[in-house]
Amino acid sequence: MLIIQNQEIAHHQNEGIRSKWTFEELRKIPEFGALIAFLALFIFFAICAPRFFSLRNITSLLTIIAELGIMTVGISFLMIGGEIDLSVSSAYATAGFVFVTLANIFTFPLGSLLAFIVALLVSLLIGFVNSRVVLRGGIPSFIATLGMMMFLRGILLGITGGRSISYAGDSLVPSLLTGIMAYRFRPSHFWFIAIVVVFSFILNHTVFGNRVFATGGKKLAAYTMGVNVNQVKTACFMISSVLAGLSGVIAISRFSLANVSFGQGMELEAIAASVIGGTLMTGGYGSIIGAALGAGIMGMVRTGLVMAGVPSYWYNAFVGIILVIAAVVNLKLRSTILGE
Amino acid sequence: MNPKQPLVRMENIQKKFGKVRALKGVDFEVYDQEVVGLLGDNGAGKSTLIKILSGVYRPDGGTIYFQGEKVDINSPEEARKLGIETVHQDLSLIEKMSVARNFFLGKEPTKKIGPLEILDLKKMNRECMIGLKQIGIELRSPTEFVSTLSGGERQAIAIGRAAYFGARILILDEPLRNLSIREQRNTLNHIQEARNKGSSVIFITHNVHHVCPVADRIVLLENGEKLGEVKAGELTPEEIAECIATGQMIKVN
Amino acid sequence: MKFGKKLLLALTVVLLSTLLLGVGLAQEEEVNVWVVVHGGIADPFWKRVEKGVMDAATNHSDLEVTYTGPSEYNFTEFIADIEAAVASKPDVLVCTLTEPDAMDEVLRTAIADGLPVIAINAPDLREPPENRIPVLTYVGEDSYHIGVVAAEETLKRFTPKRALFVNHHPGARNIELRGQGFIDTLGKNDIPAEALDITADAVQGAEITLAYLVAHPDTEVIFSTNTLRTEAIVTRLLDEGIDVGNEVKIASMDMSEKVLEYIQEGQVMFTLDQQQYLQGYLGVEFAYLHAKYGFTPPPAPVSTGPGVITAENVPQLMELSKQGYR
């Protein structure tokens, strides 16, 4: 119970250092479930799929995981803040389209850099509009962002007619984002890790992050305590969109091509990755590192199955099962932390 | 300053919701370092009166004086700035966060590392324990999630938080609801500690037995009007309950 | 650890090692061919390709074929599958080149590392030819030739006053070439013909086609290279009261149940079969022969048709369609 003897406090504090690494304590880390799942799947595929555990394949996986992961970090942040964004895949495609179109037009030096900045600004704008519709319009974010997703796809389809647009701009931004390095590593792998570190830090070690947890956990309580919940949510929407846009530009740089169909369905993958990583769909609880691990799992499953010789029809079924299992496991682990 | 001058004086407060007159001209004072019980049956207007004081509603008529000066309280934020804090059993804390993070929500301490301003978690954890201890709450660990705590414990933390941040007035709306006997006893202790530390407490309830043990003064509302006021001990709890039930004031001897 | 647990652990390790060793050994004896298509592989069109691939696989006991692709067309997944295939170090890779620009880097690197690649179904048609991905060969439609055959078959039946080619995938080089072959061949016979962009939307495309007919009432033949579009256009024109099959004749490509019905009933003159079964079949055969004996396959394009489907051979076609060959 609440009131305990002073002796017990002292004892507990001494225990603190020793008990940090026991299973009991480890279980309480929000990322624990995702980490175990990631390692288990990795080992599973390394055994069952020939050449899965080869440098070539690992760098390929990192490429996929980095792109999905950047989008997942953004959407996780927003989910922790208590909202959802289904328009991330459209922000991804739109940013890619804007980037390619402008880079092709800006033939002056550093043209691709300017195109990149504009593409990111457009992504921020998408997030901002989403936030206005939700916060001023009073529309649930699921609906609002669903509408935005379809709206953007429709516009892109109308403009491009389904045609692919080839990249003809300078190589500055593409090589900075996704240029092939030694052993097929790419800068995007490092950008991804950097983004995970930065946003995990923001979430856990800043005033803003504390308020994101609060806003997602119980909006009314946060408001009562003086948190500007609208401001917090707006920021979260914009983070979600801009990271999705960044992911889109990276993918488009890799393919040297933009097509309106790119990224379709990716919003569900990102949400699944987020949930597998331990983020609560109802908000207020989650982990950015968990999101990264979730993206790692989603990214590795498809390739792992293909290389293990499983017919690709089974991919979706497999992912579905993993998602549900992960959700159940995370629920159980969470209840030990939250004492629910 | 005149010791007799109230900390807060609400004069002739009126409030209408559509056709319903919730408050018909109520006078209400709160003095320094006192526990005031605000009693009345359901619908008497207690919650409405208090929501006006805490900035959630604006009065349709009447004036509010804070430390002798006329004020307009237009939002919960403005109320908090004056030092008026409301403690809810359900709405004051966020279950999925730790006690320390809850404690400092909205007023998070930071430290600078280079150009970055980061959350001073060590300070939060430490200060949280200290602040709660000051009103008699011994917490197991500041990093425990609020969801592991009982209703009474949560409320205690909310009270402790308000006292720590120097609330002049704590508003508690039915604070003993749903609590075990032991927790009720603890909460009443915390309320007294908060008063001893310098805050005033407005204790709203329709159950006279909840408030009598700690109240310095009891104000009775009936149907949007002030029914009467008694000091501690002037009437027995049963007599006060009779007043509420009948809607008529018993004469004080 | 208790003895029982140690024993279990030891057994597991032994089993796993044997498994891995077995897998490794098995691989050394076989010819490994990976087939990656952009699909979606659940699409009936691609099921024919898959049957061709699998039938060819049964021809040789030491041939191990892996066939994969996204179950619904998704370019990112397709590339991920290509990467997985390359990482698996097969003896030959057979794949479609649906977006040569985007696939250039990964395939070129793989080829430079010693992986032979055979393209099927969709070729690299970028100009100039030196820039194309250096595949061993390409098995599939010769797009220009298909247009030529469409024109020739039309001319065998009658001489239209005016002809129209409808493009349902503007920007796709191979479809443009089909139109080109059609228009050029008719042009040689002094018949005016042009290409029309009917967008990616089937309903809208039908409306645009109708509008064209109204503007050019002397149009007597329409060539569509997509079954869904053919169906949409025929339906729309019939709705409008146009005597499809007499006033306006239709030439189509690929097969669907409805299109075959239209052929039997006379609304559609014929359809051209790109015989995608052969793309899978020959692709794998060439791959095996190259990997095992070093044979160089015939140069690109190894045209798999087109077969001409008319009312006469529809009954036979329907049967073969049920069996998954055509």
Q: What is the CATH number of the domain that holds C118?
A: 3.40.50.2300
Could B106 and A227 be called an inter-chain contact, meaning their C-beta atoms sit closer than 8 Å? Answer: yes
Could C79 and A255 be called an inter-chain contact, meaning their C-beta atoms sit closer than 8 Å? Answer: yes
Pairing of strands C268-273, C307-309: antiparallel
What is the DSSP annotation of B220-248? EEETTEEEEEEETTTS-HHHHHHHHHHT-
List subunits contacting chain B, requiring 3 or more Cβ pairs under 8 Å: A
Q: Which chain A residues touch C105 with a CB distance below 8 Å?
A: 180, 256
Query: Which residues are CB-neighbours of B120 under 8 A, at least 6 positions away?
Result: B108, B109, B110, B111
Could A316 and C197 be called an inter-chain contact, meaning their C-beta atoms sit closer than 8 Å? Answer: no
Query: Is residue A23 one of the residues assigned to a domain?
Result: no
Percent of chain C with pLDDT over 70: 92
d(CA C305, CA C301): 11
Q: What is the pLDDT of residue B177?
A: 84
Query: Is residue C322 one of the residues assigned to a domain?
Result: no
Q: Is the pLDDT of residue C53 over 90?
A: yes
List subunits contacting chain C, requiring 3 or more Cβ pairs under 8 Å: A
Could B101 and A2 be called an inter-chain contact, meaning their C-beta atoms sit closer than 8 Å? Answer: no
CATH number of residue A264's parent domain: 1.10.3470
d(CA C22, CA B160): 68
Could A50 and C77 be called an inter-chain contact, meaning their C-beta atoms sit closer than 8 Å? Answer: no
CATH number of residue B83's parent domain: 3.40.50.300
Could B107 and A220 be called an inter-chain contact, meaning their C-beta atoms sit closer than 8 Å? Answer: no
Min Cα separation B202/chain A (Å):
18
Q: Is the pLDDT of residue C12 over 70?
A: no
Query: Which residues are CB-neighbours of A65 under 8 A, at least 6 positions away?
Result: A192, A295, A296, A299, A300
Q: What is the pLDDT of residue A14?
A: 44
Same domain, C299 and C258: no
Contact C183, C189 (CB under 8 A): no
d(CA A40, CA A55): 19
Q: Is the pLDDT of residue C30 over 60?
A: yes
Between the two ends of chain C, the Cα-to-Cα distance in Å is: 62
Query: Is residue B137 one of the residues assigned to a domain?
Result: no
Query: Is residue A20 one of the residues assigned to a domain?
Result: no
Specify the number of domains making up chain B.
1
Give the range of the structural domain holding residue B93, as residue numbers without chain letter: 8-97+168-246
Min Cα separation A260/chain C (Å):
11
Q: How many CB atoms lie within 10 A of CB C131?
A: 11
Same domain, C119 and C147: no
Q: Which chain C residues touch A263 with a CB distance below 8 Å?
A: 76
Q: How much is the pTM?
A: 0.83
Q: E strands along chain C, which residues?
A: 31-36, 63-68, 92-95, 117-120, 137-140, 162-167, 193-197, 219-224, 249-253, 268-273, 302-303, 307-309
Each residue's pLDDT expressed in tens, for chain B with a length of 253 residues = 455 788 999 999 999 998 888 899 899 999 999 999 998 888 888 889 988 998 888 999 899 999 889 999 888 878 888 899 888 777 789 999 999 999 999 889 999 988 888 999 999 999 999 988 887 788 888 988 998 888 888 888 898 888 888 889 999 988 888 888 888 888 888 888 888 888 899 999 888 888 888 899 999 888 888 888 888 888 888 888 888 788 777 766 5
Same domain, C151 and C199: yes
Q: What is the pLDDT of residue A22?
A: 66
Could A57 and C66 be called an inter-chain contact, meaning their C-beta atoms sit closer than 8 Å? Answer: no
Query: Which residues are CB-neighbours of C321 under 8 A, at least 6 positions away?
Result: C255, C257, C260
Q: Which chain B residues touch A213 with a CB distance below 8 Å?
A: 94, 96-97, 101
Query: Is residue B205 one of the residues assigned to a domain?
Result: yes
Residue A27 pLDDT level (bands cut at 50, 70, 90): low
Query: Is residue A61 one of the residues assigned to a domain?
Result: yes
SS3 A231: helix
Q: What is the pLDDT of residue C2?
A: 62
Query: Which residues are CB-neighbours of C59 under 8 A, at least 6 positions away?
Result: C285, C288
Contact C293, C91 (CB under 8 A): no
Query: Is residue A22 one of the residues assigned to a domain?
Result: no
Q: Is the pLDDT of residue A2 over 80?
A: no
To which H or E segment does residue B201 belong? strand B200-205
List subunits contacting chain A, requiring 3 or more Cβ pairs under 8 Å: B, C
Query: Is residue C318 one of the residues assigned to a domain?
Result: no
Query: Is residue B71 one of the residues assigned to a domain?
Result: yes
Could C74 and A264 be called an inter-chain contact, meaning their C-beta atoms sit closer than 8 Å? Answer: yes
Angle (CA) B54-B58-B60 rounded to 5° is: 140
Chain A residue closest in CA terms to B89: A221
Q: Is the pLDDT of residue C231 over 50?
A: yes
Tell me the two tokens of residue C283.
């692709």
Tell me the two tokens of residue B241.
């309950």
Give the one of B88, B137, B145 whose C-beta lies nearest to A338's C-beta: B145
The single residue listed with the structure tokens 């304590």 is: A25
Of B225, B231, B178, the closest CA to residue B34 belongs to B231
d(CA A42, CA A268): 22
Min Cα separation B105/chain A (Å):
7
Contact A65, A190 (CB under 8 A): no
SS3 B32: coil
Contact B204, B28 (CB under 8 A): no
Residues facing C308 on adjacent strands? C272
What is the DSSP annotation of A66-133? HHHHHHHHHHHHHHHTT---TTHHHHHHHHHHHHHHHHHH--STTHHHHHHHHHHHHHHHHHHHHHHH
Query: Is residue C173 one of the residues assigned to a domain?
Result: yes
Same domain, C50 and C180: no
Q: What is the pLDDT of residue A114?
A: 95
Same domain, C269 and C286: no
C214 has a chain A CB within 8 A of its CB: no
Q: Is the pLDDT of residue C170 over 90?
A: no
Burial of C265 (0-12, 13-18, 19+ CB in 10 A): exposed
Residue B62 sits at φ, ψ, to 5 deg, of 100, 175
Specify the number of domains making up chain A.
1
C197 has a chain A CB within 8 A of its CB: yes
Give the range of the structural domain holding residue C75, as residue numbers without chain letter: 3-141+276-305
